[in-house]
Structure 1
Amino acid sequence: MIKVSPLTQKKIRHFKEIKRGYWSFVALSIMLILSLFAELLINSKALVVKYDGSYYFPVVSDVRLGSEFGQESSSEADYRVLQKAFEAEGGDNFVILPLVPWNPYEQDFSGDFPPTAPSAENKHYLGTDVIGRDILARLVYGFRTAMGFALLTMAISYAIGTAVGCAMGFWGGKFDLFVQRLIEIWSMVPFLYVIMILVSIVQPTFALFVAINVLFTWMGMTWYMRTMTYKEAAREYVMAARALGASTGRILFNHILPNTMVMIVTLAPFTIAANITALTALDYLGLGLMPPTPSWGELLQQGKSNLDSPWIVASVVTSIVLVLVMVTFIGEAIRAAFDPKKFTRYV
């Protein structure tokens, strides 16, 4: 069981008292958890199918052909059509569909020529994009992609930056000067040019963008951790630990690093917001993830090019602004709660 110090408990209580930050954290956490199970909420595959006394769970199984459920088609079953057919028959057979019975890659040409306006009848609650894909489905799956990118990039870049920064601040001397020069040289490499060159050479993938973003973002945390470690290493408790014969690893991990965690926790929400913005911008410019990957930037580009279909740009802009505002509120609340120098009272 994790033991939390009384001081940390006090900081957590202070964080909860900052209502807009705390409830933004709760709301964003719920949104992230729901997006992880998006296939159960937004999917063209049925959750449950009862046919001739047998139960099937297509959402967690492989492709099931329509012929298995009495449809004439030999391709994958159309569960929306199957549901209507079973309801018309009035028997014991039934189909339970997700709340939004469309997946983010599926095109709907059953009605008007896309893009189509929001319609509860067709279960396109936010309408469709220019090629008939459900906007709500692409927003939710795009949110999962953006948050996954932001969190993974932050975790890796913070791990590298913390390790390098602690080493620079603790040992100092020639090692510190050498790494400083390396960082200064590397920071001069233009990020956008590297993206453009790599995208023209290799196929853009999620892992590739995480790797590139990590290569250009770990340096920021390095400077912070170098400064914090340099300051902490000169304190009396570190000198006492050295006098008692504590190893370098013990001093760094048991003494210095816990006292610099405030910096990491405080900066994390703003880093997440920056990473989400970076991926969205790259997708908007056509330098991001390959289609048909659900992406907020790609939807934003569609909205800009189709202003006569305002539901596209309105949906994606609202989603981006909402998430970034919530992340910012969380960051402000954490900074106010965990920074001992701040005594601002929020209501």
Structure 2
Amino acid sequence: MRKIAWFLIIISVLSAIAEPLGLKLPTVSWAFNTCYNTDFLMATFGEGESAYKFAWFGYLVSLVGIAVAVFLLIEFPKGKELLPTTKRRIQRFKDNTRGMVSLVIIAVMVFLASLDQLVVGKKALYVSYQGQTYCPAFMRTVLYGKDLGVTGDMAGAEVNYRKLKKRFEEEGSGTVIMPLIPYDPTQDTAKVPAKKLKTNEGKLLDEKGNPLDGRAATLYDDDSERQKLIYEYREGVRQGRVEGRDEKGGRIYEAYYDKGELVEGSQRFSGEGMTMEEYLSSGDNTLYKVFFHAAPPMPSSGHLLGTTGKGSDLAAYLYGGLQVNIRAALIYIPAIYLIGITFGLLMGFFGGWFDLIFQRIIEIFSTIPFLFVVIIFSSLVPSNNRGLMMILLILVAFGWMSMTYLMRTAALREKARDYVAAARVSGASTNRIIFSHILPNTVAILVTLVPFSVSGIIMSLTALDYLGFGLPPEYATWGTLLKEGLNSFSKPWLVTSAFTVLVSTLILVTFVGEAVRDAFDPKKFTTYK
């Protein structure tokens, strides 16, 4: 616990220091990043360009982290050993191979998700140009094209580091190091991939080696987004209309083919500065099949799992969804347990009118349709305030009640025990009895429920996103991907990817939950004589 406490102190201090310096650290700066994406988490003083923005939520999270760390250091002084019962429970958990392996896999997933822009992102990790070095992925300052030698229309726009890397490699004028997956999870449309096609016995073959049925095109400078001549093919031969475009995308040529033969008199050309013959013979006439989004898995294009319908890299999107679920669990679980444990213990310990009032409050909350509340908030809250925090506030408002009843029952049972009566006789205060005597004896219930609560929040977010009432489009979510995949059965890589990561994660969490339950179950290791 002391190691966890010191780790919390380090990341909380780093987070608070990095923000004034304009640094954006992986995971550590997440609370501050959330402030920039959600207006109500950012306080603005003044107006116009001179306005000062204060990320109060980020600093609040840092203070909470330090406070929790200090509490752990006080509660677990140096040299304090775990109770023999706790040691036996830990050993029982380790003896459960399935649960232990699942925990290790989850730990690796959490570690990879915490690397953030080191693994996934469109901003370069390192740029060297004309003796100057930059780390755009870790800077809040935006670099523009003119800062790195980009001229023309893109000089005043934010740098496209993928194109910059390609240009530097061709010219040898600089160095760009990109993340492992050089795409953002969302709002980063990838270039449509294209695959060179082959011919056999006069017929054009598709990527599977079968006669092509569909479109094939020649390209300007091997750029899949700049198509020159677009042909229609049936059973590997040209059939139907041909469309020709200039380098700016304007239509300048048209013709028709019938069973591979050009229809006489069907050609139309309106280009300027060249004849039709010069236009048709210029450039590379290699034929490509262009895969529009959502594109299938194509390692040669850099998209190992393909792309989504909006052009996002699928691997980056799944990674972003994992990050959203982990962050949601880290906020949701402590929140509902803090509220549920506190009110549950107080209800069970005091009873009487206090218990009756809170039971009525819980009954009123229980009758409110959860989905209706989400729909109302989604329609009323402005888009710049909708995000993970708003959804979590709604989920917490409805998620603490089940925990309250469990802790109420445990408190009613425990307060009748002899050790509580002994604590009262010895003069212990009410707070000490509740939180130092009763609460530790209910830890088994809490620890056992944590993994299943994690599964619950993942399923809740996925369900809301699938129904269209969850997070806005700038968040990568597995529910949105699952919905897109089920609406596009012709693109099975979408639903397969979403289903695989969702089910795999839930199975791993369930295995850990079962192992914890078995480790804390006294009857499982009790021998009756």
Alpha-carbon separation, structure 2, partners of 1:128 and 1:84: 21
Greater fraction of residues in strand: 2
Gaps of 5+ in 1: none
1:5 CA drift (Å) = 1.5
Shift of 1:272: 0.8
AA of the residue aligned to 1:64: L
Residues of 1 paired with 2:504 and 2:469: CA distance? 24
Aligned residue number for residue 109 of structure 1: 191
TM-score by length of 2: 0.63
Report if the CA contact (8 A) 1:336-1:343 is conserved: no
Q: Which of residues 460, 464, 470 in structure 2 aligns to 1:282?
A: 464
1:67 to 123, 143, 146: 146
- Aligned counterpart, 2:488: 306
**Is the CA contact (8 Å cut-off) linking 2:306 and 2:313 kept in structure 1?**
yes
Distance across 1 between alignment mates of 2:471 and 2:402: 25
CA distance in 2, matches of 1:131, 1:184: 43
Q: Distance in 2 between matches of 1:67 and 1:337?
A: 61
Counterpart-to-counterpart distance in 1, 2:188 and 2:515: 40
Q: Is the 8 A contact 1:42 1:103 kept in 2?
A: yes
Report if the CA contact (8 A) 2:192-2:293 is conserved: no
Cα distance per residue 1:127-174 (max 9 Å; x no partner): 101121111111111111122113311211111110111011111122
Choose 1 or 2 for highest CA Rg: 2
Offset of 1:42 from its aligned partner?
A: 0.6
Deviations along 1:241-270, whole A, 9 cap, x unmatched? 101111001111111101111111100110
What SS does the corresponding residue of 2:180 show, helix, strand or coil? coil
How far the C-alpha of 1:56 sits from its partner, in A, is 1.5
For residues 255-293 of structure 1, give each alpha carbon's deviation from its aligned partner in whole angstroms, at most 9, with x where no partner exists: 110111111110011011011101110001000111122
Residue 90 of structure 1: how far off its partner (Å): 4.2
C-alpha displacement at 1:199, in angstroms?
A: 1.5
Q: For structure 2, which runs of at least 5 residues remain unmatched after alignment? A: 3-75, 194-290
Tell me, yes or no, if structure 1 residue 32 matches structure 2 residue 113: no
Per the alignment, residue 245 of structure 1 pairs with 427
Displacement of 1:178 in angstroms is 2.5
CA RMSD of superposed structures (Å): 1.6
Could you tell me how far apart the structure 2 residues matched to 1:126 and 1:153 are?
30
Matched, 1:83 2:265: no
Which residue of structure 2 aligns with residue 131 of structure 1? 310
Identify if the C-alpha distance between structure 1 residues 85 and 145 changes in structure 2 by more than 3 Å, giving closer, same or farther.
same
Tell me the alpha carbon deviations over residues 220-254 of structure 1, each in whole angstroms, 9 at most, x when there is no partner: 00111011111111111111010111100111111
1-side partners of 2:490 and 2:90: how far apart? 47
Rounded to whole Å, the distance in 2 between the matches of 1:163 and 1:154 is 14
Secondary structure, counterpart of 2:127 in structure 1: strand
C-alpha displacement of 1:12: 1.0
Once the two structures are overlaid, the 10-residue window that deviates more, 105-114 or 55-64, is 105-114
Q: Give the counterpart of 1:98 among 150, 169, 179.
A: 179
2:145/2:159 contact within 8 Å kept: yes
2:192–2:295 Cα contact (<8 Å) kept: no
What CA deviation, in whole Å up to 9, does each residue of 1:34-88 have, x standing for no partner?
A: 2122211011111111222332111112221222222222122222222222222
Q: TM-score, normalised by structure 1?
A: 0.95
Counterpart AA for 1:330 = V
1:343 Cα deviation after fit: 3.8
Cα offset for 1:340?
A: 1.5
Find the partner of 2:439 among 257, 270, 274: 257
Q: Secondary structure at the match of 1:342?
A: helix
Counterpart-to-counterpart distance in 1, 2:490 and 2:322: 25
**Equivalences, count:** 343
1:320 to 502, 507, 514: 502
2:394 to 209, 212, 231: 212
Determine which of 317, 331, 343 is the counterpart of 1:152.
331
Amino acid paired to 2:494: I
Identify which range, 154-163 or 172-181, moves more after superposition. Answer: 172-181
After superposition, give the CA deviation of every residue in 1:167-203 in whole Å (9 maximum; x if it has no partner): 1111112222222222222211111111122222224
User: Counterparts of 1:131 and 1:219 in 2: how far apart (Å)?
Assistant: 39
Relative contact order: is structure 1 or structure 2 higher (C-alpha 8 Å, sep ≥ 6)? 1
CA contact (8 A) 1:21 1:329 kept: yes
Distance (Å, rounded) in 2 between the aligned partners of 1:214 and 1:110 = 41
Paired with 1:59 and 1:258, the residues of 2 have a C-alpha distance of: 44
SS in 2 for 1:121: helix
Which ranges of 4 or more aligned residues in structure 1 deviate by more than 4 Å?
none
